[in-house]
Amino acid sequence: MPAPIAASGTFTLGANTDDPITIHRLGFGAMRVTGAGIWGDPPDHDVAIKVLRRAVELGVDFIDTADSYGPYVSEDLIREALYPYGDVLIATKGALTRQGPDRWEVVGNPAYLRQCVQMSLRRLGVERIDLWQLHRIDPNVPAADQFGVIKEMQNEGLIRHIGLSEVSVAALVSAQQVFNVVSVQNLYHAGNRASEELLDHCAANQIGFIPWFPLGNRELVAADGPLAGIATRLGCTPAQVALAWLLQHSPVMLPIPGTGSIAHLAENCGGASVQLDAQAISEINDLSADLV
């Protein structure tokens, strides 16, 4: 019996390079396996390990993390649970520093970005990061300096493929002049489509679009929320409807719903098998942009 994730289809990162990586389109975001406020250890270490391993058992072969999740906790747990990684792509990010629960500050000076990569290599136990993503472009450091050191590290063999997070089309185009961008991560879900122009650019250039916060807020996927009627009619859950809409909305969409719960993991993976009809898609497309 095929794994549930297989129904999401596949996408090839770096299809226009000589070193592409093909993954299933529905992945797993490893931010929520940490403590409250994305700070410190998870409330139950063993459950976090089980969630990561179960994700792979369900067919997930794309796991997204960052050095700032914990900080460091998520990367450490991934290594403990999954190393050696086999066919699972572990993507990580750097440039955000932590000052406490739910507190983040960007640091993009080249020396720090190099430290981010070197420390992620050490924590994950690899010699090369298959997909390293600039978590934010630091507005206080020339973008050319940030892009330049990332390209240097790719040339040195420390990074296989490069992605960006929370960028405009203009910033993406600027980065593309320095290195090949295979993915971007921006806030995006059925109730917040402010990055639609960026999504269109990604589709035109075969760049993977990774929507963070793919389930939106609790209002979007609540039992009595705007997706509830569709879910009831289709015999699934609102969260599965939200994920199915993303997958059907664009062929470059790579949702990475995250959770620290085995039950929610199974629910999210089930979203890969949900097929929305024209009525459902029309209703979701008409949702208010205020559902952030």
Cβ count within 10 A of residue 283: 18
Q: Nearest Cα to 216, choosing from 256, 189, 238?
A: 189
Instruction: State yes or no: is 69 an active-site residue.
Output: yes
3-state class (DSSP) for residue 70: strand
Are 209 and 184 spatial neighbours (Cβ–Cβ below 8 Å)?
yes
Question: What CA–CA distances, in Å, run from 217 to 160, 226, 264, 292?
Answer: 33, 12, 15, 6
Distances (CA, A) of 142 to 28, 94, 110, 171, 222: 32, 17, 10, 12, 42
Gyration radius from the chain CA atoms:
18
Catalytic one among 69, 72, 83, 112? 69
Estimate to the nearest angstrom the gap between the alpha carbon of 73 and the chain centroid: 17
Of residues 218, 292, 211, the one with CA closest to residue 249: 211
Beta strands at 21-24 and 10-13: parallel, antiparallel or unpaired? antiparallel
Residues acting as catalytic residues: 69
